[in-house]
Amino acid sequence: MKDSTDAELVVQAKLGDRQAFGELVRRYQGAAYAVARACTGSHEDAEDAVQEAFVVALQRLEECRHPGKFAGWLLAIVRNRSRNLVRREKLRMAEPIPLDAPETSRGPAAEAELATLRQDLEEALAKLPQVQREIVLLYDLEGWKHGEISERLGIPSGTVRSHLHFARKALRAELSGWKNHEEAV
Amino acid sequence: MMDREDRRPDLSVLDPGLGDAGYWERLRAAVLAGAAFELARRRETARASVTAVLSSWSRKLIPATLAAAAAAAFLALSENASDQGEPQPLALEDVLDEGAAEGLSWTAENAAASPVAFMAFVEGHGR
């Protein structure tokens, strides 16, 4: 399954192949999470949106006209579900995701520092336009290349580079108090 | 020289898998659990489609196969019936192919069937 193309996996998933659909989830859950996080601004909502989006994508798989471009199509669904979820979020109490609590080996002080950095980073990201949030998360968190972002988000490559440049610049300005928040490419 | 503004910011703190190696596998399992019903529905639909196609084929194939079998049986019976009639005169090709010229008794009737038979008949009467 790992060697199969997206198009092949989509065809198999249409027939109800659990392994094929599972491989699509494995490939794109990180990107879906990055986009959902950019839209919702919170980890819990992003998780919800990712789970919803994959199930909706499976239900609407026949609408994916170009199975080779599954990723871009999926991310559009993630974006829509995230926006809907944010709207709904205002009306309902958030329910916890039934995932086990993570076990960490860090000490309380390190955990507290990470939590603070995470909060500052989230606040800095929240000040960016959504498209810049998506691009910087897909590039710097998920590790996608300019070309992949361009193709899958339907944005010209030059625009992707420009958004990335300005997003990084803004993040740097917001997080200037943190010494180790960047690394050389 | 690298532009300071184009250096990669470390966003790994936002990665829920940071320090929790099983996070992504659990999320994947949760997605698959949520998709289980739809996957089962699709499998069932695909199975029903295959069955429908096969049964539609069988509806057309079975009568066609029966007709072909009946025609073949009829032809076979017809050939058997014709094999049991009087022996047919040998043609030149049959004689050459089968080497059956020796031991045949030639008559005026069957000598007319081929040049070889005719010549054998003439030579026999000339001696």
Complex ipTM, two decimals?
0.78
**Helix locations, chain A, DSSP H:** 6-14, 18-40, 43-59, 70-89, 108-126, 130-140, 146-153, 157-174
| Residues B122, B78 within the same domain | no
Chain B hits for A17, Cβ within 8 Å: 39, 43
Query: What does the pLDDT read at residue B65?
Result: 87
| Chain B residue nearest residue A139, CA to CA | B8
Q: Residue A83 class from Cβ within 10 Å (0-12 exposed, 13-18 middle, 19+ buried)?
A: middle
Mean pLDDT, rounded, for B14-25: 89
In this structure, the answer to whether residues B39 and B81 fall within a common structural domain is: yes
Is residue B4 a part of any domain in this protein? Answer: no
Domain match, B30 and B77 both: yes
Is B75 in the same domain as B94? no
More confident residue, A5 or B115: A5
pLDDT tens across A119-154, in order? Answer: 888 889 999 999 999 999 999 988 999 999 999 999
Contacts of A172 in chain B (CB under 8 A): 4-5, 9
> Domain boundaries in chain A?
6-89, 108-174
**Predicted structure pTM score:** 0.66
Q: Classify domain A6-89 by CATH architecture.
A: Orthogonal Bundle (1.10)
Residue B108 belongs to some domain of the structure: yes
- Tell whether B48 is within 8 A of chain A (Cβ): no
Searching chain A, which residue's CA lies closest to the CA of residue B15? Answer: A141
The pLDDT-based confidence of B116 (bands split at 50, 70, 90) is low
A104 and B9: CB-CB below 8 Å?
Answer: no
pLDDT at residue B33, as a whole number: 95
Q: What percent of chain B has pLDDT over 90?
A: 22
A95 touches chain B (CB under 8 A): no
Beta bridge partners of B9: A182
**Cα gap A44→A49, rounded to integer Å:** 9
CATH architecture of A108-174: Orthogonal Bundle (1.10)
| Whether residues B91 and B125 fall in one domain | yes
Q: Which residues of B touch A12 (CB under 8 A)?
A: none
Q: pLDDT tens digits, residue range B59-94?
A: 778 888 889 999 999 888 887 766 665 566 666 666
Distances (CA, A) of A105 to A110, A115, B20, B57: 10, 15, 9, 63
In a domain, B5, yes or no: no
Q: Are residues B106 and B120 in the same domain?
A: yes
B79 and B121 part of one domain: no
pLDDT score at B110: 63
Residues B81 and B104 in one domain: no
Dihedral of CA atoms B11, B13, B14, B17 in degrees, nearest 10, equals 120
Task: Examine the domain organization and report whether B61 and B91 are in the same domain.
Answer: no
Q: Pick B35's closest partner by Cβ from A54, A104, A121.
A: A54
Q: What is the sign of the dihedral through the CA atoms of A46, A48, A51 and A55? A: negative
**CA-based nearest residue in chain A for residue B23:** A102
- How many folded domains does chain B comprise? 2
Q: What is the largest CA-CA distance in chain A?
A: 52
Query: Which of B2, B8, B26, B51 to substitute to test the interface with A, most A CBs within 10 Å?
Result: B8
Residue B57 contacts A where some CB pair is shorter than 8 Å: no
Task: Report the C-alpha gap between A117 and A110 in whole angstroms.
Answer: 10
Inter-chain contact A22–B32, Cβ cutoff 8 Å? yes
Q: Which domain holds residue B108?
A: 87-127
Q: Is B14 within 8 Å of A38 (Cβ atoms)? A: no
Q: Quick check: is B57 in a domain?
A: yes
Nearest residue of A to residue B42 by CA position?
A16
Q: How far apart are CA B2 and CA B11, in angstroms?
A: 19
Same domain, B75 and B36: yes
According to the model, what pLDDT value does residue A136 have?
92
> Residue A184 pLDDT > 50, yes or no?
no
Distance set, CA B64 to CA B22, B69, B76 (Å)? 59, 9, 18
Q: Residues of A with CB below 8 A from B46's CB?
A: 15-16
Note whether B72 and B92 are same-domain residues. no
Beta carbons of B28 and A22 less than 8 Å apart: yes
Pick the residue with more confidence: B43 or A2?
A: B43
B5 to chain A, any CB pair closer than 8 A? The answer is: yes
